[in-house]
Structure 1
Amino acid sequence: MRKWIKWLVRLGLVLVIIAGAFYYWLRPLLVRIESTTLASGIHVKFRTVGTNVEEYTNEAWQPYFAKGINMGATIPGHFPGELVISEDDYERWFGMIQDMGVNVIRVYTIMMPEFYEALSKYNMKHQKDPLFFLQGIWSPEEQLIEGQDAFDPKIKEKFEQEIKDAVAAVYGQTTLTPEPHSGKAGGAYKYNAGPYLMGWIVGTEWDPKMVKGTNDRHADTPDYDGKYFRNKPGANAFEKWLALMVDTAAQTEIQYGWQHPMAFANWVTTDPIAHPGEPLVEEDLVSVDPTHIEAVNWEVGYFASYHVYPYYPDFFAFDKSFQEMTNSKGEPDSYLTYLNKLKAAHPNLPVMVTEYGVPASVGVAHLGTLGRNQGGHSEQQQGEIDADLLQQIHGSGYAGAILFTWQDEWFKKTWNTQRYDEADRRAYWYNTLTNESFFGVLGMYPSKDNKLLIDGDASDWNKVKDKKKLDVQAPGFEEIWATQDEGYLYLQAKLSEPFDPSKESIYFGADTLPGGNRHGPELHGMTLDEGLETLIELSDDKKSRLTIASNYDIHARLYERSGLPEVDPKEKQDDSGIFKPWKLAVNYLLEYPDSRVNHPFGDVEVGLFARGYSDPARPDYNSKAMWQVQGQVLEMRIPWMLLGFSDPSSLSVINYTAPTKNKFAMTHVKGVRFVPWIVKNEQVVGLDNSAAAQPVQVSEMPLYTWPGWEDKVKYVERPKQSYNIMKEALQKINGPITTNVQSGS
């Protein structure tokens, strides 16, 4: 009897295992999406054919163009490792994304379970027109750069495990432990999103020195001939390593009963094209060529994925051989030329541009041709440039164009502002000088964005509970109010008489630290008992700007020995009386042997103050508007970093100490004092010569202060102007151009 019981128990266990295996094998069939099966019974939805991607729909294979958008993993007030986006957020976003005309979302790494659950539920409601996704697999980037050797066993093992975890997460069959400090998501993955997958993109942008280091160390590495992918003759060592990693992804996925097209991430820096006019040797040091890898027995194929921006590397601006083609406006266009050369370098492979776009920000990090700079754009300009780039990618015969990016992310850093802020506080405030944070078409704005509109109408100030009246006795001003949020310090002034910027100027000096300018031409004979770090002048469009005291000039202090001309010793003195433009670097001094050609240091002024309207409901809305005046009402918003703040949430500013190791020291302050005056007919309003001899008591001016907000961030989410511009552009594209079209001439 006991033997029978044991036998039945064993039989039951076997049946459970078999049933479980059948369930997971048949699970894709439970998802209501049209697909087909290979002779082996493997399910497929997308495939590559020649230079095109195809989707199985309406019982046939149809040409497919990926009209995509990248999606980040966080929201304001959080870093990527926290991964706090809710399922409701995702479902709302998916609707907005699809309404925009997008058919595929690209994610860079394993997302939280909520992403896959929300996408599965959303698509169950939209079975006739589902939203697909490209799944990225994050490589151990820091370890690769530090070790300079992709074949390091620890790196190889870590990446292989990440690949296996990513596949299991997509198919809803794993539980992962989150690693907040490294940004790795975790939790129980129960929803099978695999049927909605469009393809895989393995890895991240490759550091050229690491690639070369790997090639040099492993020049004799044998060819990789995997089960589904292998390298071709002539592949370098790093490409052989990539063939292994792509094959690992394929071998892992097929266990779940599916095949999807494979790719690895790449960028212009490691493309297979020569850039003879590229100044920096490192930017043309080594190639990672997708054509050196091929699929074998992977019936849905393989494609190339590139990040291509119009402003980086520098050859886009300098290399005349990349300005051979002209665009629809008849302009020599390096981006269009590059697209065609890159496409031609992959004759039998579909190519997708999986990142492109420009940010809507005050800050600028690189200059491109035709005004396609990395930053400095309004939302309207952002949308117009992004739409133009999309049309060029599509018209050049690519298989897809994935815009960077969906949502703004405050935590991002940029090379030319990261030394001015506190790294562990970036997620808690809106720094419009850090362009990298503002590539999104879904804006994440500071909390007063929909409460205080810069329009010269003071009525909305009545609803602001935390505003403070500054008891400043200044000729020409009846009253001044101040408030703040995560992005700006706001001022509203009632003037004694209507303001005419063509005939007079309004000044606001700002004092945060002991030191600065106590005199200067802009003060028109006044002297102060305490110095100003920054000064705002509002007049006509060409003169309205924020400037910085020369001895507090952060830019000059940082780059004096890195390309800027030597600073005049007078400018380094306290109370020099000199105010300088607020600038950001856009390129370092380029010199041989690091550079093939010498090129001077480059910078741009970012303290210009545009007069305009910040109300997005107005037809003349300008996202970069900083001030407006109507009659006697003046309104202004000042970006925090322009006032010297490294973290307004903790009232921290950059101090006067010289930078150490290219990093500035920070000081906590109590607030800001503002000194206002009006200049008409070259004289300060209400100030006679005898009064000018007496120092203005800045130290006795009212201090505007605020409590700080630690990590309790509020924000406003709304589509940018660029969202609607891109919506119109995306909806004009109905499919791929299946022949190699050469746009322009």
Structure 2
Amino acid sequence: MESKKKWRWRWASLTALMLAGASVLWWYWDADRVESMETTAGVQLKFRTSGEQIEVFQNERWQPFFAKGVNLGASLPGHYPGELPIAKDDYLRWFAMIDEMGANVIRVYTIHPPVFYEALVEYNRKKPEDPLYLMQGIWSPEELLIEKKDAYLPEIREQFRAEIKDAVGAVYGEVTLPEKSGKASGTYRANAGKYLIGWHTGTEWDPVMVQNTNRLHEKLPPYQGTYFQATAEATAFETWLAEMVDTVAAEESKYGWQHPMTFTNWVTTDPLSHPGEPLYHEDLVSVDPTHIQPKNWEAGYFASYHVYPYYPDLFRYDPALQQVKNDAGQVDSYKAYLRLLKEHHKNMPIMVTEFGVPASIGVAHFGNLGRHQGGHSERQQGEIDAALLREIHQEGYAGGILFVWQDEWFKKTWNTMRFELPEDRRSFWLNVLTNESLFGVLGMYPGKEGVLTIDGDRTDWDQLKPEEKQRLDIRVPGIDEVWMTHDEGYVYVLVKLAHAFDPEKEKLYLGVDTTPGGNKHAAQLPGLTLDEGLETLIELGKPEESQIQIAANYDFHTRLYGKRYGMLEVKAEEQQDDSGIFKPWKLAVGLEMEPPDSKKYYPLEEVVVGRLLRGTTDAADPQYDSRTAWQAKGDVIELRVPWMLLGFTDPSSLTVMSYQDEGKRFATTTTKGIRLLPVLTDRATKSIVGKSQWPSPYPLTQLPLYSWPAWEQVGYHERKKQSYAIIQQAFKEIDAPVADKDKSQP
């Protein structure tokens, strides 16, 4: 009996070893199926640079390859990237959609978990003739670089070298990374190196850090490595970069492969001079890829830049970028910039590895030709992204990699980040005023997307479970019913009137109270006085009228840029509690600039984001617009309002902005919920409907509260945006780099 047990144990152990061995062999056997060229030195090549092109070895010959790519983030709603929540099934599903979109390259910024590389190998194994290629980014010690302002510090160099070694090991499936907060970890055994198009080293460089590094190490001789070297013209920082790129090459050479090398760069540290850029900081120093050269690296080297059409401001102000017209005959600063940048990198491939605009209500920068950072519908997003891609291709670039595949709720933007408090809860809710969260082609929509459709039809409301909605017992003239619900992105309201709504004859106001203070009266509500103040006032009427406004002394925008920074006029009467004044909901899109930081004075720029668009959120409807806020049909009015427009700094913890400031920071408070007061006004009489029936003061504090429990888990829906199909068509139009193009003006 004992011998039988031993035999079974030995057989089980042998079977496990055989399975493990088969798994390892499978990864290596799969690698042999990828066509590559072997050099006389025994090095494998799949991609290489040649002149101003990138080439792929396919069908036993070298062929031009244009990278039609998409950047892939590392987060999901409810998570930060460092939590690494994406599962293998997610990656496999996304790869199929990315492939279907027509992309041939996926770029990642840093090491992903082992399941990413396993999924990529598994997906590509099914289509060896036309795989999805990987551009692997290697994250530099960004925070340390910005803090210390010296790239040569031993702790920075050692940390970066370790990251490089880990990244190469992860791609080739020969490393085990220990658990470390914010970093990928685990055992890497999938060899994705055969699907690599190139290495993308580093992050966007802080100009002050670059300048300081150059100053501290001015007399350092140019780096001379085994595979890469710095030229005689190289600055100290470029010499450091040559060393880091050479380190990547040295690590990869251990695996018998070579792939094209590049490093991250952006407009702020490009090698061009921009006399029209307002801020000295944005044209302070150059990082020039032509000052680094391969010496024993047959796969070659190319330049890459992140180029967005709205940042820095030189895209609007630099006269040198106002000389080129696009195919439509419009002066196009983006196309002009691409052309100048390309001319600087002669005999060298150059790629735009980040470009794009977000589909969001919020706006953070203005761009030429309406290519703003935000404020776009999903259709507009796709049209702009496709136009940028075509220009990248027309100007002879080696590729364009769109930013980004999926929406990422955790992202922050400079003009809303001070209003998102607590900061560490951004990933728990979708702030559609934060445009950075909505660059994705794959939308990550809040929980009631597709459950409640803003279209004026209450059927979907009636189908909600009782615990998912609340009927508010509000009895005011002209209003029969008021219902509320919410999700991670919006507060939803349904109002049933006693008659069909006619914006030509009347307006519907919804006063919103979340915290003590605010306006107890307003010109918009003639003759009405409340026992408690309103923080915001929603107005629904004609298209140009429909908006949400904010109490003047509560207005985040004026408090930050007026009271704190002195960039706006602050009127004393507006700062009084119960001033009766409601102001348009605005965001800054450009700070006041003045010497010595800028070359001349530029005033603060702002944009109204409180306009409420009437339409439909039915994605199957031709009139669909992702920015839609309300619709009315007959006696039913449906509305959804972004949380921040109601004063919320974090709805997941019921946190709202306080009227009090604490030094340089805003103060917040916890709300008990939302009180909503619907008011109909008559245009003909310029009065409140049924005014004689309204007590004075009206007991707002006696109205029911709409409240909800705090949440730690999020619900969301994944769906391709309208931009997906538009970008898909643009990718189909591109099949090779432009070899010879007419540089003449249209």
Q: TM-score, normalised by structure 1?
A: 0.95
CA RMSD, Structure 1 to Structure 2 (Å)? 1.5
Q: How does 1:276-295 map to 2 (within 5 A)?
A: 276-295=275-294
Instruction: Please name the residue that 1:516 is paired with.
Output: 518
1:500-529 C-alpha deviation (Å, 9 max, x unpaired): 112211000000011100111111111111
Instruction: Please name the residue that 1:678 is paired with.
Output: 680
The CA distance in 1 between the partners of 2:396 and 2:566, in whole Å, is 41
Instruction: Please name the residue that 2:596 is paired with.
Output: 593
Instruction: Please name the residue that 1:149 is paired with.
Output: 150
Q: Partner amino acid for 1:99? A: E
Instruction: Please name the residue that 2:632 is paired with.
Output: 629
The CA distance in 1 between the partners of 2:731 and 2:529, in whole Å, is 58
What is the CA-CA distance between 1:659 and the residue it aligns to? Answer: 4.7
1:326-383 C-alpha deviation (Å, 9 max, x unpaired): 1111111110100000000100110000000000011110001110000011101100
What is the CA-CA distance between 1:179 and the residue it aligns to? Answer: 2.4
Q: Partner amino acid for 2:180? A: E
The CA distance in 1 between the partners of 2:553 and 2:744, in whole Å, is 51
What is the CA-CA distance between 1:269 and the residue it aligns to? Answer: 0.2
Instruction: Please name the residue that 2:176 is paired with.
Output: 175
What is the CA-CA distance between 1:587 and the residue it aligns to? Answer: 1.0
Instruction: Please name the residue that 1:328 is paired with.
Output: 327
What is the CA-CA distance between 1:742 and the residue it aligns to? Answer: 3.1
The SS at the match of 1:68 is strand
1:228-253 C-alpha deviation (Å, 9 max, x unpaired): 00001111000000000000000000
Instruction: Please name the residue that 1:729 is paired with.
Output: 730
Instruction: Please name the residue that 1:222 is paired with.
Output: 221
Instruction: Please name the residue that 2:190 is paired with.
Output: 191
The SS at the match of 2:632 is strand
What is the CA-CA distance between 1:682 and the residue it aligns to? Answer: 4.1
Task: Kindly indicate whether the alpha-carbon contact (under 8 Å) linking 1:104 and 1:134 is maintained by their aligned counterparts in 2.
Answer: yes
Instruction: Please name the residue that 2:643 is paired with.
Output: 640
Instruction: Please name the residue that 2:572 is paired with.
Output: 569
Task: Kindly indicate whether the alpha-carbon contact (under 8 Å) linking 1:563 and 1:589 is maintained by their aligned counterparts in 2.
Answer: no
Task: Kindly indicate whether the alpha-carbon contact (under 8 Å) linking 1:145 and 1:210 is maintained by their aligned counterparts in 2.
Answer: yes
Q: How does 1:584-623 map to 2 (within 5 A)?
A: 584-623=587-626
The CA distance in 2 between the partners of 1:107 and 1:743, in whole Å, is 37
Q: How does 1:127-526 map to 2 (within 5 A)?
A: 127-180=128-181, 183-421=182-420, 422-465=422-465, 466-526=468-528
Q: How does 1:669-708 map to 2 (within 5 A)?
A: 669-680=671-682, 681-688=684-691, 691=693, 694-708=696-710
Q: Partner amino acid for 1:698? A: L
Q: Which moved more, 1:521-530 or 1:730-739?
A: 730-739
The CA distance in 2 between the partners of 1:604 and 1:494, in whole Å, is 32
What is the CA-CA distance between 1:684 and the residue it aligns to? Answer: 4.0
Q: Partner amino acid for 2:620? A: A
**Aligned pair count?**
719
Task: Kindly indicate whether the alpha-carbon contact (under 8 Å) linking 1:81 and 1:179 is maintained by their aligned counterparts in 2.
Answer: no
What is the CA-CA distance between 1:91 and the residue it aligns to? Answer: 0.5
What is the CA-CA distance between 1:695 and the residue it aligns to? Answer: 1.1
Aligned pair in 2 of structure 1 residues 30, 514: CA closer, same or farther (>3 Å)?
closer
Q: Partner amino acid for 1:475? A: P
Are residue 650 (structure 1) and residue 653 (structure 2) matched? Answer: yes
The CA distance in 2 between the partners of 1:580 and 1:198, in whole Å, is 52
Instruction: Please name the residue that 1:56 is paired with.
Output: 57
Task: Kindly indicate whether the alpha-carbon contact (under 8 Å) linking 1:271 and 1:287 is maintained by their aligned counterparts in 2.
Answer: yes
Task: Kindly indicate whether the alpha-carbon contact (under 8 Å) linking 2:30 and 2:125 is maintained by their aligned counterparts in 1.
Answer: no
Task: Kindly indicate whether the alpha-carbon contact (under 8 Å) linking 1:340 and 1:742 is maintained by their aligned counterparts in 2.
Answer: no
Task: Kindly indicate whether the alpha-carbon contact (under 8 Å) linking 1:443 and 1:720 is maintained by their aligned counterparts in 2.
Answer: yes
The CA distance in 1 between the partners of 2:722 and 2:30, in whole Å, is 41
The SS at the match of 2:482 is strand
The SS at the match of 1:636 is strand
What is the CA-CA distance between 1:156 and the residue it aligns to? Answer: 0.5
Q: Partner amino acid for 1:577? A: G
The CA distance in 1 between the partners of 2:287 and 2:685, in whole Å, is 62
Task: Kindly indicate whether the alpha-carbon contact (under 8 Å) linking 2:31 and 2:191 is maintained by their aligned counterparts in 1.
Answer: no
Instruction: Please name the residue that 2:582 is paired with.
Output: 579
Instruction: Please name the residue that 2:15 is paired with.
Output: none
Instruction: Please name the residue that 2:12 is paired with.
Output: none
1:203-224 C-alpha deviation (Å, 9 max, x unpaired): 0000000000000000011110
1:597-639 C-alpha deviation (Å, 9 max, x unpaired): 2100111010000000000011110110000000111100010
Instruction: Please name the residue that 1:557 is paired with.
Output: 559
The SS at the match of 1:252 is helix
The CA distance in 2 between the partners of 1:214 and 1:172, in whole Å, is 35
The CA distance in 2 between the partners of 1:272 and 1:34, in whole Å, is 37
The CA distance in 1 between the partners of 2:451 and 2:204, in whole Å, is 40
Q: Percent identity?
A: 57
Task: Kindly indicate whether the alpha-carbon contact (under 8 Å) linking 2:274 and 2:318 is maintained by their aligned counterparts in 1.
Answer: yes
What is the CA-CA distance between 1:28 and the residue it aligns to? Answer: 7.4
What is the CA-CA distance between 1:29 and the residue it aligns to? Answer: 7.0
Task: Kindly indicate whether the alpha-carbon contact (under 8 Å) linking 2:68 and 2:401 is maintained by their aligned counterparts in 1.
Answer: yes
Q: Partner amino acid for 2:273? A: A
The CA distance in 2 between the partners of 1:163 and 1:683, in whole Å, is 69
The SS at the match of 2:299 is coil
Task: Kindly indicate whether the alpha-carbon contact (under 8 Å) linking 1:673 and 1:704 is maintained by their aligned counterparts in 2.
Answer: yes
Aligned pair in 2 of structure 1 residues 363, 257: CA closer, same or farther (>3 Å)?
same
The CA distance in 2 between the partners of 1:177 and 1:105, in whole Å, is 26
Q: Partner amino acid for 2:636? A: V
Instruction: Please name the residue that 1:4 is paired with.
Output: none
Task: Kindly indicate whether the alpha-carbon contact (under 8 Å) linking 2:525 and 2:688 is maintained by their aligned counterparts in 1.
Answer: no
The SS at the match of 1:523 is coil
Are residue 32 (structure 1) and residue 33 (structure 2) matched? Answer: yes
Q: Partner amino acid for 2:500? A: P
Instruction: Please name the residue that 2:71 is paired with.
Output: 70
Task: Kindly indicate whether the alpha-carbon contact (under 8 Å) linking 2:362 and 2:432 is maintained by their aligned counterparts in 1.
Answer: yes
The CA distance in 2 between the partners of 1:503 and 1:109, in whole Å, is 57
What is the CA-CA distance between 1:390 and the residue it aligns to? Answer: 0.4
What is the CA-CA distance between 1:462 and the residue it aligns to? Answer: 1.7
What is the CA-CA distance between 1:319 and the residue it aligns to? Answer: 1.2
1:403-459 C-alpha deviation (Å, 9 max, x unpaired): 000000000011111100121100000100000000000000001001000000000
The CA distance in 1 between the partners of 2:287 and 2:679, in whole Å, is 60
The CA distance in 2 between the partners of 1:325 and 1:563, in whole Å, is 38
Task: Kindly indicate whether the alpha-carbon contact (under 8 Å) linking 1:28 and 1:195 is maintained by their aligned counterparts in 2.
Answer: no
Aligned pair in 2 of structure 1 residues 155, 672: CA closer, same or farther (>3 Å)?
same
Q: Partner amino acid for 1:493? A: V
What is the CA-CA distance between 1:708 and the residue it aligns to? Answer: 2.1
Aligned pair in 2 of structure 1 residues 62, 379: CA closer, same or farther (>3 Å)?
same
Aligned pair in 2 of structure 1 residues 724, 743: CA closer, same or farther (>3 Å)?
farther
Instruction: Please name the residue that 2:531 is paired with.
Output: 529
Are residue 106 (structure 1) and residue 107 (structure 2) matched? Answer: yes
1:134-178 C-alpha deviation (Å, 9 max, x unpaired): 000000000000000000011001001100100000000001123
Gaps of 5+ in 2: 1-20
What is the CA-CA distance between 1:463 and the residue it aligns to? Answer: 2.0
What is the CA-CA distance between 1:740 and the residue it aligns to? Answer: 5.3
The CA distance in 2 between the partners of 1:56 and 1:563, in whole Å, is 60
The CA distance in 2 between the partners of 1:92 and 1:200, in whole Å, is 25
Q: Partner amino acid for 1:59? A: E
Q: Partner amino acid for 1:85? A: I
The SS at the match of 1:230 is strand
